[in-house]
Amino acid sequence: MSLPAPDGPTTLGGLFARRVAATPDEHAYRGYDGTRWRAWSWHEAGREVRRTRAAFAASGLRPGDRVGICAYNAPEWVFCDIAALSLGLTVVPLFFNDRPENVAYCLKDAGVRWLFVDRPPAAEIMACGLQGIVSFKEVRGVVSFRDWLAAAPDARSALPGPAPDDLATIVYTSGTTGRPKGVMLSHRNILANVGALLAAIPEVALEPHRFLSFLPLSHMLERTVGEYVAMAMGAETVFSRGISELAADLKVARPTVLVSVPQIFERTYAKMQEDLQGSPRIARLIARTSAAGLRVYEGRARGLERLSARLYDAVVGRAVRRRLGGRLRYVFLGGAPAAERLLAFFTGLGLHFLQGYGLTETAPVISCNRLSDRDLASVGRPLPNLTLRFVNGEICVKGPSVMRGYWNHPEATAQAVDAEGYFHTGDLGRLEAGLLYLTGRAKDIIVLSNGEKVPPADVEQAILQDPAFEQALVVGEGRGALALLAVSSIADETELRDRANNQLHAFPGYTRICHVLRVAGPWTVENGYLTPTLKVRRQWIEARYAAAIDALYAAPCDDPGSRPPPGG
């Protein structure tokens, strides 16, 4: 593996060109074309990018024009992205599973001229006045990517390349409330984040790696780490066929690195527990293996403990890792807080989580655990080129990866970035011994009528550790106690309340569930309950069930906060 030199590329197109020149014959990408897996070397990928550049130039696009990509991850996604960026075009990635009206809003707001898709575009999208629509797959009524490339002359584009501070991309934040805002990131913003992340984990970056890409490339975590960091490292990237095929693709690709959100491991853990319901002896053996491995990881194991941990791992840990392909070593984890218990379980089974924290507005990584860090509760150390400060507990960050601002929203930009250049994240945290810990959201706090403050995300995360709950939302702003909206296969709401409170035994007495409303599920992006980045649309759900919530509070409550917590 080779990393960018200090005098390395200053644009994302330059990053790609440097990689092609350095390792032309090494494996670059592998994707499934509907019938077979197809591979590209870096030289072959460079040829595809040149063809795509020529097609862009022939389409009448000029530097600064916006190009949208609304498709699932594939090699063509990357070819299109790099070709557009190298010509000074601005790429607008859109969530392929977002609602058509949201996609249409973003297209119009950004003034997108050409759009790339992989499925028939909805009527709302067709009505956006686009200059052209191209499909990576064969779609009736839409020109195919293959035909679009074939129609362009095979010549070098005369368009000038971008400057480092030119706009590279407009990434729309999914927004749990209101319309999404377009985050403007320059080539310099993104490359600063790539370089700082590589500098933070040199031991990982210098190893030969294969990534499996499944998080949408419209998600800035996947794009920065799964596309550009992988490119800088010279790693091969295999594109998953989709979430439903992820388990099979892990075994096909056998990756060493995964970029993920906690939800994937929550599902894996739940599936393991379901599979082991009839095998309590094996379940205990896996738990024992994880506990022994965790003691080794934390440096607490000695002598025979270390030997027994190796034996457990050889028999059990290896078998569990085979579910994830058998070669997985590192997981870049972000996008949402991860339950410490979940991280401990899989860490003990031999995975190394490089858990981090960041936002789209910071391109996106702010902090990341180093290999030497062993505190699973932290989200790592701030990247070396960023400065953090705390204003009333809120994390504020300054540095070269902080966005240029929000597209068409100067007022929102002024509210988010202060006069000194610090971006206000909206997240609460603290820094101890160089490690960053998240403690809640500056605004997502429920204030009960008695003045007590409850961070709903922490409460929900604890409740979801019980597999009886598929999804959960805590409410209670201005009320006397908390209520829970739950998606569950258990119909008895009293049982659900008791099980929820059993998970909250370590919380203060006022953090108890008084009422439970069992609601239909699952909550998905398609039905409007989740954002495209899988965050719960809290205010939207509360408005949807406002009458039912009022009815809950109209009934008397056997206040669980006045009793000892269940199990305690």
* Tens digit of each residue's pLDDT (9 = 90 or more) over 335-367: 877 888 889 999 999 999 999 999 999 999 999
Q: Which residues contact 495 (CB under 8 A, 6 or more apart)?
A: none
Beta strands at 257-260 and 446-447: parallel, antiparallel or unpaired? unpaired
Q: Edge-to-edge strand order for the sheet containing 210-213? A: 37-41, 27-32, 236-239, 210-213, 257-260, 330-333, 352-358, 365-368, 381-382
Q: Percent of the chain having pLDDT more than 90?
A: 74
Tell me the average pLDDT across 240-247: 93
**Residue 345 corresponds to which tokens in the numbers above?**
């379980």
Tell me the average pLDDT across 284-312: 93
Q: Which amino acid is at 72?
A: Y
| Three-state secondary-structure class, residue 162 | coil
Contact criterion met (CB below 8 Å) for 448 and 481: yes
What is the pLDDT confidence band of residue 32, given thresholds at 50, 70 and 90? Answer: very high
Tell me the average pLDDT across 256-279: 87
Tell me the average pLDDT across 317-330: 94
What is the pLDDT confidence band of residue 155, given thresholds at 50, 70 and 90? Answer: low
pLDDT of residue 15: 98
pLDDT of residue 174: 65
Q: Percent of the chain having pLDDT more than 70?
A: 95
pLDDT of residue 525: 85
Tell me the average pLDDT across 183-204: 96
Q: Return d(Cα 193, Cα 368) in angstroms, integer.
A: 11
Complete domains list, the chain, with CATH? 12-257 (3.40.50.12780), 261-441 (3.40.50.12780), 446-562 (3.30.300.30)
- DSSP H helices, 395-489, are 410-416, 456-463
Residue 529 reports pLDDT greater than 70: yes
pLDDT of residue 178: 58
Contact criterion met (CB below 8 Å) for 449 and 480: yes
What is the pLDDT confidence band of residue 16, given thresholds at 50, 70 and 90? Answer: very high
What is the pLDDT confidence band of residue 562, given thresholds at 50, 70 and 90? Answer: very low
Residue 265 reports pLDDT greater than 70: yes
Residue 3 reports pLDDT greater than 60: no
Provide the terminal-to-terminal Cα distance of the chain, rounded to the nearest Å: 53
Q: Return d(Cα 433, Cα 74) in angstroms, integer.
A: 41
Q: Which helix (H) or strand (E) holds 346?
A: helix 340-348
- Residue-wise pLDDT for 454-505, tens only, equals 888 889 989 998 999 999 999 998 888 999 999 999 999 999 999 999 999 8
Tokens 């800088």, located at residue: 232
Residue 559 reports pLDDT greater than 50: no
Task: Output helix, strand, coil percentages for the chain, rounded to the nearest 5.
Answer: 35, 25, 40
Contact criterion met (CB below 8 Å) for 56 and 84: yes
Q: Which amino acid is at 251?
A: K
Beta strands at 112-117 and 66-70: parallel, antiparallel or unpaired? parallel
- Residue-wise pLDDT for 494-507, tens only, equals 999 999 999 998 78
More confident residue, 120 or 443: 120
- Residue-wise pLDDT for 34-65, tens only, equals 999 999 999 999 999 999 999 999 998 999 99
Please, what is the average pLDDT of the chain?
Answer: 91
**Residue 434 corresponds to which tokens in the numbers above?**
């160089």
Contact criterion met (CB below 8 Å) for 102 and 110: no
pLDDT of residue 567: 33
Phi then psi for residue 477, to 5 deg, are -55, 120
Q: Which residues contact 280 (CB under 8 A, 6 or more apart)?
A: none
**Residue 28 corresponds to which tokens in the numbers above?**
């670059």
Q: Return d(Cα 393, Cα 437) in angstroms, integer.
A: 11
pLDDT of residue 4: 46
